[in-house]
Chain A
Amino acid sequence: YVDFPAVTVCRT
C-alpha cells in the first residue's frame, strides 16, 4: 500500500 502523491499540471 502506498499513499498516492499530488500531481500538479501546468499549461506551458
Chain B
Amino acid sequence: AQAISQHSPKMAQYLAPKYETFIVSCRFKGKKCNKTNFIKRMNGEYFKCFTFNNSATIKNVGPRWGLSLTFYLDRIYGIDLNYDMDAMDITEYGVKVSIHEPNTIPDMVNNAITISPGYNTKMALRQTVFGKMEHPWGQCDKFRVKLVDIAYEATNIAYNQDTCLKICQQRYIQGKCGCLNIMRPVPNDLLNETYC
C-alpha cells in the first residue's frame, strides 16, 4: 500500500473508499451524523482515512452517547493487487481505528487498533489530562502548523511532540535523500519536493 501511495498518488486516490460506500451509519450523542462531520485524509499506509473531529463536550456515558459507526467492508473494486505474491498485504478486510486528541495527526501505525468485520466492537475510555504551565514557567508552544498529506490537502494541525518528531524525520530524510517519505507529514516549506 505504501508503494502505491508513494509512486502513484492518483491510483491511491482511485482505490480509496468513498464515505458513502464505507461508513453506512453514523450516530453521535444519540443523533444521526453524516459525511459533513468527517475530514478525509490520505495516509501513506492506508489509502483513505476519515476523521470524526467534533469538538463537542459530552456529559453522558455509555454506547448510546458516544460515537457509533457501521462500516461496509466488502471490496467494491475488482482489481487484484496481489500481483507480487503476498508482498502487498492490502486485501485484508477491516478498519483501523485511532482515538486521539482533536486536530492532531493520528499515528495509525503505533497508536491504533484493528477492528475485524462481522463483530460489534465497543470501546470505552478514560482520559487523564496533564496541563503544563505556559511561559515563563514552561516552554510549551501552542502554535499550529500547516501540513499537507499525500493528496496535497493542506490542513491546520495542532502541534504535538509526535508531529514535531515526524516533521524532524521528514526534514532529515529530505536532506539525506533529496526526496520525501510518504509516511511522514510534509511541512509547508517542503511542499514543492517530490516523494521518493
- Chain A interface (Cβ < 8 Å from any Cβ of B): 1-12
Asked if A8 contacts B51 (CB within 8 A), the reply is: yes
Q: Does B104 contact A (CB under 8 A)?
A: yes
Residue from B17, B51, B100, B112 within 8 A of A11 (CB atoms): B17
Neighbouring B residues of A10 by C-beta, 8 Å: 43, 45-50, 95-97, 108, 112
Assess A6 versus B96: contact at CB under 8 Å? Given A1-B57, A11-B48, A12-B46: no
Residue B195 is within 8 A (CB to CB) of chain A in the complex: no
CA distance in complex: A8, B108 (Å): 8
List chain A residues, Cβ under 8 A from B66.
4
- Whether a CB of chain A sits under 8 angstroms from the CB of B56 is yes
B56 touches A4 (CB 8 A): yes
Q: Once the chains bind, are B94 and A3 in contact (CB under 8 Å)?
A: no
Enumerate chain B residues within 8 angstroms of A3, measured Cβ to Cβ: 55-57, 102
